[in-house]
């Protein structure tokens, strides 16, 4: 092989490697799935959004139906306001509920929409009224430890009676 053909092969290999790194970066940033078609905005208010991030998926029955486009704090109610973009292919009843769920034990968080039974559907700009906040692992552990400490304290007091 000539020196020129080896240089061309090395160049192609480097370009292929850069393409692979770019693909992994887009996949890690959740940017590989671009929006297909029209979407409509919805909002949902949560007491605690946990580690929810913009661009996280919105799912129903495990199927990605949209993305989170924004997260803010309502200055009056001090609740987290999450703005969603849902594909127009999916219409949900007005009494649907939204939950912040976790993929796996310690995975990324996403919003799950559970359809209701109302005949009327959510329209662009509507707010999902029924929401369930994120389960924060630290709070659960703290509550468990507090309950165990309270049980241990009450057990000692009961056992010390003559």
One domain, residues 44 and 94: yes
pTM above 0.85, yes or no: no
Q: Which DSSP state fits 121?
A: B
Determine the structural domain holding residue 27 and report its residue range.
1-32
Domain count, the chain: 2
pLDDT of 108 above 60: yes
One domain, residues 76 and 105: yes
Residue 86 lies in a domain: yes
One domain, residues 66 and 138: yes
Q: What is the 3-state secondary structure (H, E, C) of 1-41?
A: CCHHHHHHHHHHHHHHHHHHHHHHHHHHCCCCCCCCCCEEE
Residue 159 lies in a domain: no
| More confident call, 138 vs 90 | 90
One domain, residues 27 and 64: no
At residue 152, φ and ψ (nearest 5 deg) are: -65, -40
d(CA 135, CA 9): 52
pLDDT of 151 above 90: no
d(CA 112, CA 86): 12
Residue 157 lies in a domain: no
pLDDT at 139: 77
| Per-residue pLDDT reduced to its tens digit, 30-74 | 555 545 568 999 999 999 998 899 999 999 998 999 999 999 999
63 token code pair: 């199927």
What is the band of 13 on the pLDDT scale with cuts at 50, 70, 90?
Answer: very high
Length of the chain: 162
Residue 2 lies in a domain: yes
Residue 5 lies in a domain: yes
User: Do residues 100 and 68 touch, judged by C-beta distance below 8 A?
Assistant: no
At residue 71, φ and ψ (nearest 5 deg) are: -135, 130
One domain, residues 60 and 8: no
| Per-residue pLDDT reduced to its tens digit, 87-103 | 999 999 999 999 999 88
One domain, residues 72 and 109: yes
Residue 160 lies in a domain: no
Residue 162 lies in a domain: no
One domain, residues 24 and 43: no
One domain, residues 49 and 19: no
pLDDT at 3: 87
pLDDT of 135 above 90: no
What is the share, in percent, of the chain residues with pLDDT greater than 90?
Answer: 53
pLDDT at 150: 85
N-term to C-term CA, the chain: 96
């Amino acid at each position: 092989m000539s020196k020129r053909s080896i240089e061309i092969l090395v160049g192609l290999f480097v370009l292929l490697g850069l393409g692979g790194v770019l693909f992994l970066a887009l996949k890690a940033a959740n940017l590989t799935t671009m929006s297909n078609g029209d979407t409509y905005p919805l909002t949902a208010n949560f007491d605690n959004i946990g580690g929810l991030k913009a661009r996280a998926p919105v799912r129903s029955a495990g199927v990605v139906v949209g993305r989170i486009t924004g997260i803010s704090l309502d200055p009056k109610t001090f609740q987290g306001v999450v703005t969603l973009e849902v594909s127009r292919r999916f219409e949900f009843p007005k009494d649907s509920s939204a939950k912040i769920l976790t993929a796996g034990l310690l995975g990324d968080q996403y919003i799950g929409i559970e359809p209701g039974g109302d005949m009327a559907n959510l329209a662009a700009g509507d707010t999902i009224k029924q929401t369930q906040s994120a389960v924060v692992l630290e709070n659960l552990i703290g509550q468990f430890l507090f309950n165990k400490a309270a049980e241990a304290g009450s057990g000692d007091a009961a056992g010390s009676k003559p």
